Structure 1
Amino acid sequence: MQSETTWDRLKAEMKAAAASLGIDKIGVASAAPFTEMKQRLLRHRELGRESGFEEPDIDKRTDPSLLFDDPQSIIAIAIAYPSKLIDAPKSQPGARRGIMARSAWGQDYHVVLRDRLAKLENWLRERVPGLRAESMVDTGALVDRAVAERAGLGWSAKNCAIITPEFGSWVYLGEMITNLPLPPDKPITDSCGDCTACIDACPTGALVGPGQLDAKRCISFVTQTKGMVSDEFMRKIGNRLYGCDTCQVVCPVNRGKNWTHQPELQPDNEKAKPLLVPLLTMGNREFKETYGMTSSAWRGRKPIQRNALIALGNFKERSAVPDVAGVLKDDPRFELRATAAWALGRIGGEEAEAALKAAQGAERDEQVLKAIEVALAAIAGEAAGEKPATE
């Protein structure tokens, strides 16, 4: 039997130290190119299913040697995050609330994972003075899920998430390319079986097959865009302000799992499930003070304010008509004015109709005028008992 090497011992000690470093799971992957992932990404691009948020160079996404001189191993980490709000405030008529995806609860996970990776790097450097390492989280070039899968953290599920046996898919992923010849871990067997709960539950059919996501149809992507949203997607967004967790919530492996041991990731209920109306007039400074430390802030306030209008429309919240009408009348951003028009058409009623007609006379933007026209037609159709008009 082969004796334990120095690198075997270092890896074992590193895993044993994970909890003291604030890391929930560590695995090691080889630094060989991810050839299968490259083919999948090329096909993904051919089909037009990219979000546009990814690193555009597919070679860099799949070949560690293009990012790091002579890589020997990649250390993958996972940190578990909460899935439930304790004593969550209720959304009710007159006080409607939106919901942030769990990835936007607590402190920005990019900051938290970078902190953990820095601690891990310091721990390794104390034991290997010649360490070279480069860490990345989410916005790095490598595909986090591909690294995590190869490192044995979990299996790549049908919803495109990594599912760990211990924590389900409620984990953030990060990785560190190193010059250390650490022995790799074995991948975990895919345990999704015949289950298609995530595919069946996806609001927009963005999960076009097992492990296949049309990113442009994904509600999580749509909520982060800054422009206009189609009627179809606005109706599907519901009251989501940032992101979408549906495919994780319905996963049987995730049932009952809620992780509260990482202090920085615990939610502030009023930020995770905020009142919608105050968001409409929130200025940049207040937005940064309120949400600047969360991952939802990276796109600025416009997408979240637009999504708040959509949510009020989907709630058909009559009490919010004056506030929505104020956006339609005064907001300098045409995307928000057009969305406010849509929301008023969805809410309906005489007050909403009057606000739309008043705005119609003063509006000069063609897209907003079109949205007002469609909204007025929707209200007229509803009053006549017809199916509401849509674009």
Structure 2
Amino acid sequence: MNISQLKQEIISYSKVIGIDKIGFTTADTFTEMKNRLIRQQELGYQSGFEEKDIEKRVNPSLIFDQPKSIIAIALAYPSKMSESPQGKKGDRRGIFCRASWGVDYHTILREKLKQLEEFILEKVPEARFKSMVDTGELVDRAVAQRAGIGWSGKNCSIITPEFGSYVYLGEMITNLPFEPDEPMEDQCGSCNKCIDVCPTGALVQGGQLNAQRCIAFLTQTKGFLEEEFRDKLGNRIYGCDTCQTICPKNKGMDFHFHEEMEPDPELAKPRLTPLLTISNREFKDNFGEMSGSWRGKKPIQRNAIIALAHFKEQSSVPELIQVLNEDPRPVIRGTAAWALGKIGGEDASMALEHSNEKETDPDVLNEIEKAIRKTKGEV
């Protein structure tokens, strides 16, 4: 077997099946990443969604028997929506981040990696693989950076010269000893736009993210959102693109190579008020294929309530009152109370007073009492 020729054949085949960029690297330990992860852990900057064992995140030999190399892939996704619906007074809309448009990217990339595996197995039947997308042990960005897909930007995204940072990443550990590609030089230079514009200051410095303050992470949590972040959410109901849209390397980057990534405008920018009372079945039927649905409807509904408060949307007050009175989940009731306090008005004020008399959950009561004080101009 000529490993060099096989590498070229894999690169050619990857283009045929719609992989936009491919790179190869060693299966050596990611030493620099290990130091960074330890520091993140010490600072309490992790999201909690990651693999807990740092060693497994940086040492391929702990998750694969005798690894020789890693193949990294990237697929470019759209940054612009054709016929984007516009929200207006009385008909407000939320927004899912670009990485959640279309079919769940985990599904798309896993299929591409599976096709690659099958292609290689035809050439080398003794080949072994372990493929992963986002939820695997390895740090996708570290693999992609070392494999020459792009450089790790100050916004903590992989930035490619061809597609900017609008790329999904996946990788495959294998027992085949491919020649590694050259990592790419950092091209962020002195630019700090992403750091300067981050709504919550989550980008502590170039390449260092405090996930606990990142809106993309916060929109996926299920509990009460801390008050300091509620006003920062805007109309985002899943994810955040601010550090990408500000990036000069993303200027003019918009690629529509993959039909399954195209957004349904009514799902990517959904009406907010109907989300408050959507059933589990409706949510699954409408949003189930999107990556933004992975945590279920509760965080989306909580964020939709916060977005309506952001707009001070008076027309949503009846629905918010219904949620406050009838929803069985304390987080949703309490967030509705906060929103009513922010929107204000006589109906909201009366509903809060009424609810204050019958509510039993201490967290919800706390939100109701604060909201009542707000409607009276006391805070």
TM range (shorter): over 0.9
Measure, in 1, the Cα distance between the counterparts of 2:230 and 2:59.
38
Give the 3-state SS of the residue equivalent to 1:237 in structure 2: coil
Residue number among 37, 40, 46 corresponding to 1:41 in the alignment: 37
Structure 1 residue 122 displacement after superposition: 0.8
Query: What does 1:38-187 align with in structure 2 at a 5 Å threshold?
Result: 38-187=34-183
Q: Confirm or deny that 1:194 pairs with 2:190.
A: yes
Structure 1 residue 344 displacement after superposition: 0.6
Measure, in 2, the Cα distance between the counterparts of 1:176 and 1:151.
12
Residue number among 321, 327, 340 corresponding to 1:325 in the alignment: 321
Instruction: Specify every segment of 5 or more residues in structure 2 that has no aligned partner in the other structure, as ranges.
Output: none
Measure, in 1, the Cα distance between the counterparts of 2:25 and 2:232.
38
Structure 1 residue 103 displacement after superposition: 1.2
The answer to which of 20-29 and 135-144 deviates more is 20-29
Aligned partner of 1:344 in structure 2 is: 340
Measure, in 1, the Cα distance between the counterparts of 2:90 and 2:15.
45
Q: Confirm or deny that 1:288 pairs with 2:284.
A: yes
Measure, in 1, the Cα distance between the counterparts of 2:249 and 2:345.
44
The answer to which of 174-183 and 359-368 deviates more is 359-368
Aligned partner of 2:223 in structure 1 is: 227
Amino acid at match of 1:107: V
Structure 1 residue 212 displacement after superposition: 0.2
Query: Scaled by the length of structure 2, what TM-score is found?
Result: 0.99
Structure 1 residue 349 displacement after superposition: 1.5
The answer to which of 11-20 and 53-62 deviates more is 11-20
Amino acid at match of 1:224: Q
Structure 1 residue 153 displacement after superposition: 0.2
RMSD: 0.9
Measure, in 2, the Cα distance between the counterparts of 1:56 and 1:361.
44
Measure, in 1, the Cα distance between the counterparts of 2:319 and 2:77.
35
Amino acid at match of 1:120: L
Query: Scaled by the length of structure 1, what TM-score is found?
Result: 0.96
Measure, in 2, the Cα distance between the counterparts of 1:11 and 1:345.
61
Instruction: Specify every segment of 5 or more residues in structure 1 that has no aligned partner in the other structure, as ranges.
Output: none
Aligned partner of 2:352 in structure 1 is: 356
Runs of 4+ in 1 over 6 A off after TM superposition: none
Structure 1 residue 231 displacement after superposition: 1.4
Measure, in 1, the Cα distance between the counterparts of 2:310 and 2:57.
39
Measure, in 2, the Cα distance between the counterparts of 1:287 and 1:19.
35
Give the 3-state SS of the residue equivalent to 1:299 in structure 2: coil
Structure 1 residue 178 displacement after superposition: 0.3
Structure 1 residue 279 displacement after superposition: 0.4
Deviations 1:80-117 (A, max 9, x none): 00111111111100100000011111000000000000
Measure, in 1, the Cα distance between the counterparts of 2:134 and 2:279.
28
Deviations 1:258-283 (A, max 9, x none): 11111111100000000001100011
Number of equivalences = 379
Structure 1 residue 223 displacement after superposition: 0.3
Measure, in 2, the Cα distance between the counterparts of 1:77 and 1:308.
34
Structure 1 residue 217 displacement after superposition: 0.2
Structure 1 residue 294 displacement after superposition: 0.9
Give the 3-state SS of the residue equivalent to 2:172 in structure 1: strand
Amino acid at match of 1:314: H
Measure, in 1, the Cα distance between the counterparts of 2:196 and 2:372.
34
Percent identity, aligned pairs only?
59
Amino acid at match of 1:282: I
Measure, in 2, the Cα distance between the counterparts of 1:8 and 1:189.
24
Deviations 1:186-244 (A, max 9, x none): 00110000000100110000000010000000001100000001111011011111011
